[in-house]
Every structure is written in C-alpha cells, then in structure tokens.
C-alpha cells in the first residue's frame, strides 16, 4: 500500500502545530479501481463531502479512466446518530439515495461508503443492491494503510504506544458522544472533552 498523506501544519492553520493528521481519502482512491470491473464507481457521502468533490478529484488523480458518480445522503447521519438505523425511515432514505445514485449510471459495480456513519446502515444498503455490487467500507481500507504507515514510521508508532492507553477525545458533549460511540466501537467508552 502507498503511504497515507500526512497533512502538515501549513494545511491546517491554527490547529495543533505539533500533530499530524493522516487522511482517509487518498488510501481509498488508491485502491478503489481494483474492485470495479465496469469502471463505474459510486461514492455515497454527506452533502459536504459530495460538494467538496474530494473523493472525485483524488480518485481521478489515481485512476483517470474510472467514472465516478457521487450521491449525497443527507439523512443517513441523523438517522444513525439518533439510533434510527433499523427504522422504516432508514429503509425509505436508503432506498431513495441508492435509486438516485443508480439513475446516474446502471453500470456502477462498486460503492464507497464515504462516511464513518454509513457502515451502520450496511445491511439495509446491501439488501437493496443488485447482485454483484461491491460495497467498500473506507475504514476497512484505511486501517491497513495506517498500519503500513506506522510500520514504516516507527518514530510515530512509538508515540502512539505511549502508556498503551486508548483515549477518546471529542469536541462534543461527552455523555452524548459516549452513547453514540458505543454503536461504532462496539463497547462502552469514556471520552474526554477537548476544546480546539
């Protein structure tokens, strides 16, 4: 796997000058073409992600011949954050956004879930797809890329292992964050509030 892009301080003016941020878009863009037979891929994201065209631009850099179709799914995050991912409302909005995406191209054979919340809807998404569609959870792509990056940068890896503690920091209200994070992490957590 190619290295994750390290965002330097110049990319994030005013934020934690001694910290590095590892991106999620490039590792996904580097491998997405390997999953498509038709050369048509769909990106499901938030309105902000779709409007930014971040995935579209990075995928085009890595695989210029790939045809990328984006679909904003503005109701998916609120559904997940309010614990409604198993509701009839979720059924409606999953079907709605998938229909809108596939109306752009019937040849799409690979879907990228370009938001951390979307894997909680994976069963509903998969149940509404035609056979042969590959659904990519970016977390499953980014995690091995991060491992590879840390293997090649032991000086950073050593910093991550300090005291072997796992800490969750949030700019959100901690009690609310802890409740919501349990669905993602699979166990209870105690977060700490951080002011940026």
Segment 91-140, tens digit of pLDDT: 999 999 999 999 999 999 999 999 989 999 999 999 999 899 999 998 88
For the chain, the straight-line distance linking the first and the last C-alpha, in angstroms and rounded, comes to: 32
Give the bridge partners for 70, in sequence order: 43
CA distances to 3, 139, 179, 180 from 173, rounded to whole Å, are 34, 24, 10, 11
**pTM (2 decimals)?**
0.77
Would you state the pLDDT for residue 64? 96
CA separation for the pair 192, 182 (Å, rounded): 15
Q: In 10 A of CB 154, how many CB atoms? A: 10
Which residue segments constitute the domains of the chain, with CATH numbers given? 6-141 (3.40.50.1860), 167-196 (no CATH)
Give the list of residues 6+ apart from residue 137 with CB closer than 8 angstroms, or none. 113, 118, 119, 122
CA separation for the pair 62, 173 (Å, rounded): 38
Q: Is the pLDDT of residue 192 over 50?
A: yes
pLDDT in tens, 44-102: 999 999 999 999 999 999 999 999 999 999 999 999 988 899 999 999 999 999 999 99
């Amino acid at each position: 796997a190619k290295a994750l892009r390290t965002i330097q301080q110049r990319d994030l003016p005013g934020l934690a000058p001694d910290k590095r941020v590892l991106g999620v878009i490039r590792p996904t863009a580097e491998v997405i073409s390997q999953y498509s037979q038709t050369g048509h891929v769909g990106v499901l994201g938030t309105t902000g992600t779709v409007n930014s065209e971040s995935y579209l631009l990075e995928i085009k850099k890595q695989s210029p011949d790939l045809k990328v179709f984006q679909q904003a799914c503005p109701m998916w995050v609120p559904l997940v954050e309010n614990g409604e991912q198993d509701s009839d409302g979720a059924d409606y909005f999953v079907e709605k956004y998938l229909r809108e995406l596939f109306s752009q191209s019937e040849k799409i054979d690979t879907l990228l879930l370009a938001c951390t919340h979307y894997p909680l809807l994976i069963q509903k998404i998969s149940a509404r797809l035609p056979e042969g569609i590959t659904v990519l959870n970016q977390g499953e792509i980014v995690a091995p890329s991060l491992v590879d990056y840390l293997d090649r940068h032991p000086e950073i890896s050593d910093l991550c292992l300090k005291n072997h503690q796992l800490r969750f920091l949030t700019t959100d209200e901690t009690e609310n964050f802890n409740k919501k994070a349990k669905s993602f992490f699979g166990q209870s957590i105690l977060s700490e509030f951080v002011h940026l």
